Amino acid sequence: MSKKRIVIKIGSSSLTSIDGTLSPLKLAKFCHAFAEFKKAGHDLIVVSSGSVAAGFKEMGYPSRPVTVRAKQAAAAVGQTLLMQQYRFQLTQYGLIPAQVLLTRHDFRDAEHYKNVSSSLSELLKRGIIPIINENDSTAVEELTFGDNDMLSALISGVMHADMLLLMTDIDGLYNKNPLLYPEAKKYKKITNIDEELFSQTDGTTTAVGTGGMRAKLKAAQAAQEMGASVYISTFRESESILKITEFSGEGTYIVPDTSRQMKTKKQWIAFHASSKGSIVLDKGASNAILNEGSSLLHVGVTDVSGEFSTGDVIDAYDEQGSLIGKGQAHLTAEKLRSVLKNESTASSIVIHRDQWVPMK
């Protein structure tokens, strides 16, 4: 059997007791499953919620806090307690966990993005299990992932994981909310995530979680686009991680449209980099770069907005105003405007095809 690499995201609802506090028993069961998977020789990355659940009682709160300040404080206390539990359980199997806290900034900056990949790769090389969480104690809204579902999807992409496991409190994706509609049908396998599927999902959250099924579907869509299969279900002791990766689980599988994985550089352009400007393309240029695999030449550009430098990421729109892709600029905004104004006959590349990502 070939070596597998998976990312498993564990939601707060899968790690907590009825009162909303961290359950050492539930965490221990996950760690046992991790040990079995690692013993088989595979790579494992864990994205774990639970820091607020672990810390709010220690802070003296009678229940899970609701204000941002209180949740950040509880997360700061709870993150150490969460890691203590992981270390205690995993060391019984001879495994070492490593704490990794991330924010959006670690993905938006190209150099930081490379460092995330390099650091996680070195940990896996040494047989260590990265335990990743968002840095909830200091993150501001514009630098958050929204929930650990999307964080786990982005990690599965940058690490070119074979599969992303989203562990939640519902055993799969249904066409209706199964808690409200007993006749709801569960999807076994999904290949295309469309607006109809999104309309069927419930965007609400649990009492201890931040991401509903809609958030999981968005994360699955991102992971799928980056080449990873996705599994959504609840955790069962009788269902090993290895069994799940062999597509024998009882939950819902979402498989990529193609076996080709998006290159790490293109992932950064598509999902992480902040756009510094935009351009509008005529019909011919839109078709050439979307359907013919061509680089974008200046002759197809009809408008330029913003100020950007060479290497900055810019958005490309068609004549109808729809975003059709993103790419790294080969010309500065000033140079591009100058070229367009002078109507030069020599073709200048605006975005090279190797640094272009279609968005439709």
Does residue 49 have a known ligand-binding role?
yes
Q: Tell me what the mean pLDDT of segment 203-208 comes to.
A: 44
pLDDT at 229 over 60: yes
Q: In whole angstroms, what is the distance from residue 162 CA to residue 164 CA? A: 7
Burial of residue 138 (CB within 10 Å: 0-12, 13-18, 19+) is exposed
The domain boundary residue, chosen from 231, 265, 299: 265
Distance between CA 131 and CA 129 in Å, rounded?
6
260 and 281 assigned to the same domain: no
* CB contact burial 124-134 (16+ within 10 A = b; e otherwise): beeebbbbbbb
The residue from 246, 265, 284 where one domain ends is 265
**Lowest-pLDDT range of 54-58, 144-148, 294-298:** 144-148
Of 122, 130, 127, 157, the residue nearest 46 (C-alpha): 130
Same-domain pairing of 224 and 136: yes
Do 184 and 282 sit in the same domain of this protein? no
Higher-confidence position of 253 and 360: 253
Q: What pLDDT score does 255 carry?
A: 92
Which of 207, 232, 265 is the last residue in one of the domains? 265
- Residue 192: what pLDDT? 85
Average pLDDT over residues 239-248: 94
Residues 182 and 242 in one domain: yes
Do 329 and 350 touch, CB atoms closer than 8 A? yes
Mean pLDDT of 132-148: 63
Pairing of strands 349-358, 296-297: antiparallel
Q: How many domains does the chain have?
A: 2
34 domain residue, yes or no: yes
Share of the chain above pLDDT 90, in %: 54
Q: For residue 5, what pLDDT band results from cuts at 50, 70 and 90?
A: very high
Is 169 labeled as ligand-binding? yes
Q: What is the mean pLDDT of residues 185-202?
A: 84
Q: Are residues 255 and 351 in the same domain?
A: no
Same domain, 125 and 192: yes
| Pair (352, 211) in one structural domain | no
211: domain range? 5-265
Residue 11 has pLDDT above 70, yes or no: yes
The stretch 48-67 carries a mean pLDDT of 90
- In contact, 304 and 318? CB cutoff 8 Å: no
> Considering only 44-48, 176-180, 247-251, which range has the smallest mean pLDDT?
176-180
Q: Is 270 contained in some domain?
A: no
Please tell me whether residues 184 and 320 are part of one structural domain: no
- 299 vs 110 pLDDT, higher one: 299
Are 54 and 133 within one domain? Answer: yes
Cβ contacts of 160 within 8 Å, gap of 6 or more: 5, 227, 228, 261, 264
* Amino acid of residue 278: S
Rounded to whole angstroms, what are the CA distances from 219 to 77, 165, 214, 222, 314? 28, 11, 9, 5, 23
Tell me what the mean pLDDT of segment 140-151 comes to: 64
**148 belongs to an annotated ligand binding site:** yes
Which comes out higher in pLDDT, residue 316 or 263?
316
> Best-predicted range by mean pLDDT among 74-78, 91-95, 319-323?
91-95
In the three-class reduction of DSSP (H, G, I as helix; E, B as strand; rest coil), residue 134 is classed as strand
Report the pLDDT averaged over residues 234-262: 86
181 versus 124: the higher-pLDDT residue is 124
Q: What is the CATH number of the domain that holds 340?
A: 2.30.130.10
- For residue 271, the model assigns a pLDDT of 81
Mean pLDDT of the chain: 87
Residue 256 near residue 220, CB atoms below 8 Å: no
- Same domain membership, residue 188 and residue 54: yes
CA distances from residue 248 to 15, 47, 189, 208, 227 in whole angstroms, order as listed: 24, 22, 11, 29, 20
CATH number for the domain harbouring residue 138: 3.40.1160.10
Query: Is 19 annotated as contributing to ligand binding?
Result: no
Distance, CA of 33 to CA of 242 (rounded, Å):
9
- DSSP assignment, residue 229? E
How do residues 321-355 score in pLDDT, each as one tens digit?
Answer: 999 999 999 999 999 998 888 865 567 899 999 89
Residues 91 and 145 in one domain: yes
Return d(Cα 268, Cα 262) in angstroms, integer.
10
pLDDT(76) > 60:
yes
Structure tokens at 267: 């992932």
Q: Are 335 and 219 within one domain? A: no
pLDDT in tens, 259-289: 455 677 788 888 878 899 999 999 999 999 9
With 0-12 / 13-18 / 19 or more C-beta atoms within 10 angstroms meaning exposed / middle / buried, residue 274 is exposed
Say whether pLDDT at 299 is over 80: yes
pTM given for the model: 0.81
